[in-house]
């Protein structure tokens, strides 16, 4: 039942000006007299005119759209929905939208990127879950396709735009916090070496422990990121000669597993203090609530979109990058 589409021509007629003047009012206000601006604006209001996006995109050769590949299971884990919300929000504020797409296998993945760009469906991409030797960045650079990564590169640093959260700083904060609460035997529980971000988080723990003069012996545990493995690994550490009294974890999933693994004393209190990473919604609702290192996702998304827009505006410029600091959310 949509009433007949109202176009820029309708506005022009009602305002008694040319289409071009209407366009100018919208896209180059400084070029037009205040008087006519008002007249055009009121015509726009009256007709409820909204510029057609396809026509505009066709004309300016841009889609004002950012592609995001959503795969399953995502490497972002339970961060994904919050990140997508933040990204969609930041994109909107910059006049962009986020378009989702999927691709099962690596072969179709690159075909999908290509297709979306060639058809003008998206202007570029946001990439997450950047692996140590991820082939995608170089591929995008070679093709001249704009993109920004959530996650810093481990190689070829400086060759493309990225935004990341300083995991090293986050776990160091967690150690400082636990030390201030009197802990000295503080374990780390996280991914096996090789993920990049996991290595950073473990490094932050190690660095802070050394800074406080604390021993690392028997204090590091790594395993796959699931609650079951994490619980088992926590139990193993607790069975050592000098069992930890606290755990710094690579993610909230590890942390929840650690909580399971610790068990509770007679009063129902966990037998070790656990600090998580990511501050997932579940963290606040555990009993007792879980302290966790929070990633500043809205700021991450803002910077990603900002870098993206700048790359579109000046594809030749040197790629920029942003490293943000996470913040410990203590809950005791």
Partner DNA sequence: TTGTAGGCGTTATCAC
Partner DNA sequence: GTGATAACGCCTACAA
Please give the residue ranges that form the binding site for a second copy (CB under 8 A).
1-2, 5, 48, 50-55, 57-58, 61, 63, 65, 70-74, 78, 80-82, 84-89, 92, 97-102, 115, 117-121, 143-144, 226-229, 231-232, 253, 260, 263-264, 281-282, 285-287, 289, 315
Q: Which residue, 229 or 292, is less far from a second copy as judged by CB?
A: 229
End-to-end CA distance of the chain: 57
> Rounded to an integer, what distance in angstroms lies between the CA atom of residue 201 and that of residue 168?
5
Of 1, 2, 3, 5, which one interacts with DNA (CB under 7 A)? 5
Task: Name the one range near DNA by CB under 7 A: 32-40, 147-155, 189-197, 244-252.
Answer: 32-40
Long-range contacts at 103-106 (CB < 8 A, ≥ 24 apart): 103/69, 103/71
> Rounded to an integer, what distance in angstroms lies between the CA atom of residue 238 and that of residue 170?
24
Q: Which residue, 63 or 202, is less far from a second copy as judged by CB?
A: 63
CB of 161 to DNA, least distance (A): 24
Phi/psi at 88 (5° precision): -60, -40
CB of 315 to a second copy, least distance (A): 8
Half-sphere exposure of 304 (CA within 13 A, CB side): 34
Q: Does the protein bind DNA through residue 31 (CB under 7 A)?
A: yes
Task: Name the one range near DNA by CB under 7 A: 55-63, 82-90, 147-155, 174-182.
Answer: 55-63
Q: Does the protein bind DNA through residue 21 (CB under 7 A)?
A: yes
Strands 327-329 and 291-294: antiparallel
Q: What is the dihedral of CA 10, 13, 14, 20, to 10 degrees?
A: 80
Q: Does the protein bind DNA through residue 118 (CB under 7 A)?
A: no
Q: Does the protein bind DNA through residue 61 (CB under 7 A)?
A: yes
Task: Name the one range near DNA by CB under 7 A: 4-12, 140-148, 175-183, 206-214.
Answer: 4-12
Do residues 201 and 174 make contact, with C-beta atoms less than 8 angstroms apart? Answer: no
Instruction: Report the run of H or E that residue 112 belongs to, with start and end.
Output: helix 106-118
Q: Does the protein bind DNA through residue 42 (CB under 7 A)?
A: no
Q: Does the protein bind DNA through residue 9 (CB under 7 A)?
A: yes
CB of 1 to a second copy, least distance (A): 3
Question: What residue 82 binds from DNA, a second copy, none (CB within 5 to 8 A, per partner kind)?
Answer: a second copy
> Rounded to an integer, what distance in angstroms lies between the CA atom of residue 31 and that of residue 304?
32
> Rounded to an integer, what distance in angstroms lies between the CA atom of residue 153 and that of residue 155?
5
Question: What residue 7 binds from a second copy, DNA, none (CB within 5 to 8 A, per partner kind)?
Answer: DNA
Task: Dump strand ranges (E) for the chain.
Answer: 65-69, 97-101, 124-128, 147-150, 162-165, 186-190, 220-222, 246-249, 273-277, 291-294, 321-324, 327-329
Question: What residue 100 binds from DNA, a second copy, none (CB within 5 to 8 A, per partner kind)?
Answer: a second copy
Q: Does the protein bind DNA through residue 36 (CB under 7 A)?
A: yes
CB of 35 to DNA, least distance (A): 6
Strands 97-101 and 65-69: parallel
Q: Which residue, 22 or 175, is less far from a second copy as judged by CB?
A: 22
Tokens standing for residue 285: 């609702």
> Rounded to an integer, what distance in angstroms lies between the CA atom of residue 112 and that of residue 102?
8
Q: Does the protein bind DNA through residue 45 (CB under 7 A)?
A: no
Of 1, 13, 41, 51, which one interacts with DNA (CB under 7 A)? 51
CB of 23 to DNA, least distance (A): 4
Query: Of 136, 256, 209, 320, nearest to 201 (Cα)?
Result: 209
Q: Which residue, 101 or 324, is less far from a second copy as judged by CB?
A: 101
Do residues 230 and 254 make contact, with C-beta atoms less than 8 angstroms apart? Answer: yes
Residues making contact with DNA (CB under 7 A): 5, 7-9, 16-21, 23-24, 26-27, 31-33, 35-36, 49-52, 55-56, 58-61
């Amino acid at each position: 039942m949509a009433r007949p589409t109202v176009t820029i021509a309708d506005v022009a007629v009602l305002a008694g000006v040319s289409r071009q003047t209407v366009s100018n009012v919208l896209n180059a206000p400084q070029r037009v007299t205040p008087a006519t601006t008002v007249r055009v604006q009121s015509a726009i209001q009256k007709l409820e005119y909204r510029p057609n996006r396809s026509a505009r995109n066709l004309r300016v050769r841009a889609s004002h759209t950012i592609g995001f590949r959503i795969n399953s299971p995502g490497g972002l884990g339970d961060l994904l929905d919050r990140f997508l919300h933040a990204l969609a929000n930041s994109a909107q504020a910059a006049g962009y939208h986020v378009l989702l797409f999927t691709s099962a296998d690596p072969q179709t993945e690159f075909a999908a990127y290509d297709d979306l760009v060639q058809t003008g469906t998206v202007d570029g991409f946001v990439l997450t879950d950047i692996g140590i030797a991820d082939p995608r960045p170089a591929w995008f650079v070679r093709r001249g396709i704009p993109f920004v990564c959530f996650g810093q590169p481990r190689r070829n640093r400086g060759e493309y735009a990225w935004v990341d959260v300083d995991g090293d700083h986050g776990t160091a904060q967690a150690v400082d916090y636990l030390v201030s609460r009197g802990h000295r035997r503080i374990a780390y529980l996280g991914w096996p070496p090789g993920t990049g971000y996991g290595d950073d988080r473990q490094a932050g723990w190690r660095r802070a422990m050394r800074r406080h003069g604390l021993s690392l012996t028997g204090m590091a545990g790594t395993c796959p990121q699931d609650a079951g493995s994490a619980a088992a690994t926590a139990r193993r550490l607790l069975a050592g000669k000098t069992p930890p009294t606290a755990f710094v974890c690579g993610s909230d999933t590890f942390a929840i597993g650690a909580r399971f693994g610790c068990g509770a004393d007679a009063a129902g209190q966990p037998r070790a203090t656990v600090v998580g990473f990511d501050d997932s919604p579940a963290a606040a609702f555990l009993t007792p609530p879980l302290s966790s290192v929070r990633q500043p996702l809205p700021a991450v998304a803002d910077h990603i979109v900002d870098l993206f827009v700048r790359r579109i505006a000046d594809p030749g410029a040197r790629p920029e990058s942003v490293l943000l600091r996470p913040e410990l959310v203590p809950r005791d």
